[in-house]
């Protein structure tokens, strides 16, 4: 029975209906974002009893605790008895959404219970207080209308008891809500929320849906054809379009974008039921595509804090044509293994291996991870860049306590410091894996403390005692599709700010610096291409002395000392000694000006000759010893100074071709010299024999035909820049 004061205030049904409409959370003149963007949405009819119980237990764990002098309602410590946890994702999502909404309005709901005299006038056990709060929120959302029951629903006694209590006080509750709204001078209590929370809900109501194509089961062309048969048209943008359309994402070629109001329709088509299209936030697709851009064919991947198993599946799909393996760490319970294997089998993923150790407990030199080249790190973060916190908690995070931060529109400094420290520890541990060549770090946070600060600190204090090249910050490997993205990525970080199109995202790519000993010059690349026959007919010039020194130092570093090398070193030492003695004898010969008999050069050993002009001339290009002698004969070193190399000591060499520039003297040379120089140009080639052994030097005479071991390709003028 209603109180006397209630009968005076609301004497007839019309006044009660007007008060109910005025006190609703979102009146028709100023609806909530979800109602504004959902035209034709049927009136709320309530939830099943099990949803209320699950929502009450969630709220019990995340509610705001007040000081003793500010406590209005006492909450128990024991959770409500509930049915076995349902695996229905829709029911779980409804439970979290109901608990999160009750948390946002906790103060107002508690004030309504006190102002309507429910708690002072009734005796309710403390453990039912959480259930009253979540059911009161839903009651005013339904504009204090009765809930519709389902015949298949199993009733729960506690839910029935609370519902009867609220129905008996619905007039007083409506009046208390109206007074609260008037007190805050708000058209609806929705506007009492912080501005950041209101903007977040507005983005969530308009944010497009992102779904990636499972190319293990279907090709993109087949997806387009199937969607066209269902009435979906391909467009360039899905913004402000209410029709059945979709678009292809610019950053990820296998990601499709749908308008938000089509979700219920899309969930009922076979493409989603058969795991051919999978809904997931775009930030996770950006992360796996960044990893894919850094991989070779046989590189393995280590994934840390994956959150949603769909992220692991997407990574597996992108590497389906490789021999790569994907290691996933942090699966605490082995009881989940059969369910996970069943899920991956349905999605066609075969290269996934689950590790039950936490990431920080895995040794960097673990033998199972010896082929891991890229580490994908998705650390736990505040997630303040996402617009739908419930989806974020369900898919990417297990800590329901973050819902408290979302309800206030920010994270406390203490919690932010704890999260940043955990992220730093994981990133520095990832950088200790000596075989890894890259680390991809991705968060959904907008706080620099969790993003740039963590990466810069890890790079600054990385362990330089490890005998591997240090990490450096690399530019994004994703395409930058707008001037804004280019501007946000000037410091080599990839950022996406929260907007009506996407959630916030931060992505950083760390790669090891290139080992100087492994640096490949342009000539080396050309030489490799020529060896493969890719530069047919193009002549390569002689490599510079600096490149030769680099190549020699690289070979000496790579080769380990063996018995063969020791023998070669001994032979080199003997050769140097012989050459030293020979040079000394040659110096004495020149000093005493002793004429040495000229011997005919043989194929085993011969000396190089210098042709001297008949008349002396002061030409700077002529060698000095040619100026000091007028003897017309050609001098050459005696062959007995050079010891012939026995056949058993010949060294196998790789054939090489050297192209020298044409022999030309300046036009200002004296006429006497110029008359003796032939007018035609000579191009001297030295080509290694086909046998691969070091050839004996031979004299190239003018007018002599080239030997058979010279190259058979037609004569070409060499390029002067080679």
Which residue among 381, 444, 481, 505 is the active-site one? Answer: 444
Report the pLDDT value the prediction gives residue 638, as an integer from 0 to 100: 45
Give 64: exposed, middle or buried? Use CB within 10 Å, 0-12, 13-18, 19+: exposed
Q: Is pLDDT larger for residue 168 or for residue 720?
A: 168
pLDDT at 129: 93
Q: Alpha-carbon distance 254 to 340, whole Å?
A: 23
pLDDT in tens, 450-475: 999 999 999 999 877 777 889 999 99
Pick the more confident residue, 174 or 152.
174
Confidence of residue 106 (pLDDT cuts 50, 70, 90): very high
- pTM for the structure as a whole: 0.68
Confidence check: pLDDT of 568 > 70 = no
Return the pLDDT at 67. Answer: 80
Q: What pLDDT is attached to residue 297?
A: 87
The answer, yes or no, to whether residue 342 has pLDDT greater than 70, is: yes
Mean pLDDT of 374-396: 89
Residue 626 has pLDDT above 70, yes or no: no
User: Average pLDDT, stretch 167-190?
Assistant: 91
- Give 659-684 as a DSSP string: EPPP----TTS-HHHHHHS-SS----
- Structure tokens given for 368: 């199972």
Q: What is the largest CA-CA distance in the chain?
A: 142
**pLDDT-wise least confident of 329-333, 411-415, 588-592, 630-634:** 630-634
**Per-residue pLDDT for 668 more than 90?**
no
Is 444 a catalytic site residue? Answer: yes
Per the CB < 8 A criterion, the answer to whether 232 and 246 are in contact is yes
What pLDDT is recorded for position 239?
81
pLDDT band at residue 552 under the 50/70/90 scheme: low
52-71 pLDDT, tens digit per residue, is 999 999 999 999 988 887 78
User: In degrees, to the nearest 5, what angle opens at C-alpha 284 toward C-alphas 214 and 419?
Assistant: 150
Q: What is the mean pLDDT of the chain?
A: 76
pLDDT higher than threshold 90 for residue 169? yes
Q: Is the pLDDT assigned to residue 576 strictly greater than 50?
A: yes
Place of tokens 């088509």: 269
pLDDT band at 401 (very low <50, low <70, confident <90, very high): confident
Q: Is the pLDDT reported for residue 309 higher than 80?
A: yes
Euclidean distance between CA atoms 171 and 173, whole angstroms:
5
Q: What's the whole-number mean pLDDT along residues 163-176? A: 94
Q: What's 230's DSSP letter?
A: T
Can you tell me which residue has the tokens 């997630």? 383
- What's phi and psi for 554, nearest 5 deg? -65, -45
Q: Is the pLDDT of residue 77 over 90?
A: no
Cα–Cα distances in angstroms (integers) from residue 127 to residues 47, 132, 404, 450, 525, in the given order? 20, 10, 20, 38, 74
The pLDDT score that the predictor gives to residue 32 is 57
Question: Around Cβ 573, how many Cβ atoms within 10 Å?
Answer: 10
Domains of the chain and any CATH numbers: 49-193 (no CATH), 282-512 (3.40.50.150)
pLDDT tens for 242-281 read 789 999 999 999 999 999 999 999 999 999 999 999 999 9
User: What is the per-residue pLDDT for 713?
Assistant: 43
Q: Would the pLDDT of 352 be above 80? A: yes
User: Is the CA virtual torsion 130, 131, 137, 140 positive or negative?
Assistant: negative
Residue of higher predicted confidence among 411 and 286: 286
pLDDT for residue 346 is more than 90:
yes
State the number of CA atoms in the 13 A half-sphere of 185 facing the CB: 0
Distance CA 24, CA 189 (A): 8
Residue 582 confidence (pLDDT) above 80: no
């Amino acid at each position: 029975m209603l109180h006397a004061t209630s009968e005076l205030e609301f004497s007839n049904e019309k006044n009660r209906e007007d008060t109910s409409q005025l006190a609703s959370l979102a009146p028709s003149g100023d609806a909530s974002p979800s109602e504004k963007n959902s035209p034709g949405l049927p009136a709320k009819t309530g939830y099943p009893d099990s949803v209320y119980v699950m929502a009450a237990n969630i709220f019990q764990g995340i509610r705001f605790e007040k000081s003793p002098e500010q406590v209005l309602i006492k909450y128990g410590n024991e959770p409500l008895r509930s049915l076995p946890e349902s695996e229905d994702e829709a029911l779980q999502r409804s439970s979290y959404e109901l608990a999160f909404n009750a948390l946002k309005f906790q103060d107002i709901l508690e004030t309504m219970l006190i102002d309507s005299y429910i708690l002072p006038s009734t005796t309710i056990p403390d453990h039912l207080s959480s259930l009253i709060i979540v059911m009161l929120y839903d009651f005013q959302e339904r504009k204090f209308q009765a809930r519709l029951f389902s015949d298949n629903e199993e009733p729960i006694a506690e839910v029935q008891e609370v519902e009867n209590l609220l129905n008996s006080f619905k007039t007083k509750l409506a009046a208390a809500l109206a007074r609260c709204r008037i007190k805050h001078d708000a058209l609806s209590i929705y506007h009492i929320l912080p501005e950041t929370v209101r903007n977040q809900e507005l983005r969530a109501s308009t944010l497009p849906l992102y779904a990636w194509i499972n190319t293990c089961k279907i090709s993109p062309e087949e997806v387009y054809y199937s969607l066209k048969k269902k009435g979906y048209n391909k467009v360039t943008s899905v913004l402000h379009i209410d029709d059945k359309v979709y678009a292809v994402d610019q950053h990820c070629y296998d990601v499709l974008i749908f308008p938000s109001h089509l979700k219920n329709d899309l969930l009922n088509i076979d493409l989603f039921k058969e795991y051919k299209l999978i809904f997931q936030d775009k930030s996770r697709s950006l992360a796996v595509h960044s990893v894919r851009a850094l991989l070779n064919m046989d590189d393995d991947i280590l994934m840390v804090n994956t959150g949603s198993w769909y992220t692991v599946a997407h990574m597996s799909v992108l590497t389906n044509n490789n021999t790569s393996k994907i290691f996933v760490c942090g699966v605490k319970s082995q009881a989940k293994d059969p369910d996970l294997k069943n899920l991956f089998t349905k999605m066609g993923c075969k290269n996934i291996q689950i590790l039950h150790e936490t990431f920080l407990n895995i040794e960097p030199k673990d033998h199972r991870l010896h082929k891991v080249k890229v580490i994908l790190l998705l650390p736990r973060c505040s997630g303040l860049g996402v617009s739908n916190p419930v989806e974020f908690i369900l898919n990417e995070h297990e800590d329901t306590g973050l819902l408290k931060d979302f309800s206030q529109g920010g994270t406390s400094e203490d919690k932010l410091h704890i999260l940043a420290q955990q992220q730093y520890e994981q990133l520095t541990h990832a950088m200790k894996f000596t075989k890894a060549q890259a680390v991809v770090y991705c968060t959904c946070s907008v706080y620099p403390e969790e993003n740039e600060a963590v990466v810069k600190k890890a790079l600054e204090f990385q362990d330089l005692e490890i005998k591997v090249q240090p990490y450096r910050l690399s530019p994004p490997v994703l395409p930058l599709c707008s001037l804004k993205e280019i501007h946000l990525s000037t410091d080599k970080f990839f950022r996406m700010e929260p907007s009506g199109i996407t959630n916030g995202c931060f992505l950083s790519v760390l790669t090891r610096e290139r080992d100087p000993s492994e640096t490949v010059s342009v000539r080396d690349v050309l030489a490799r291409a020529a060896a493969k026959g890719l530069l047919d007919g193009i002549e390569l010039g002689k490599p510079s002395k600096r490149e030769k020194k680099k190549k020699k130092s690289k070979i000496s570093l790579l080769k380990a000392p063996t018995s063969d090398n020791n023998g070669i070193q001994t032979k080199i030492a003997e050769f140097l000694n012989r050459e030293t003695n020979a040079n000394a004898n040659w110096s004495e010969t020149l000093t005493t000006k002793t004429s040495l008999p000229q011997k005919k050069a043989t194929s085993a050993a011969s000396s190089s000759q210098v042709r001297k002009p008949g008349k002396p001339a002061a030409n700077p290009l002529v060698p000095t010893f040619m100026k000091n002698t007028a003897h017309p004969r050609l001098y050459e070193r005696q062959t007995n100074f050079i010891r012939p190399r026995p056949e058993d000591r010949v060294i196998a060499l790789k054939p090489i071709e050297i192209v020298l520039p044409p022999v030309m003297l300046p036009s200002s040379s004296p006429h006497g010299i110029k008359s003796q120089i032939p007018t035609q140009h000579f191009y001297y080639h030295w080509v290694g024999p086909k046998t691969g052994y070091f050839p004996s030097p031979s004299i190239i005479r003018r007018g002599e035909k080239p030997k058979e071991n010279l190259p058979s390709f037609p004569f070409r003028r060499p390029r002067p820049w080679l």
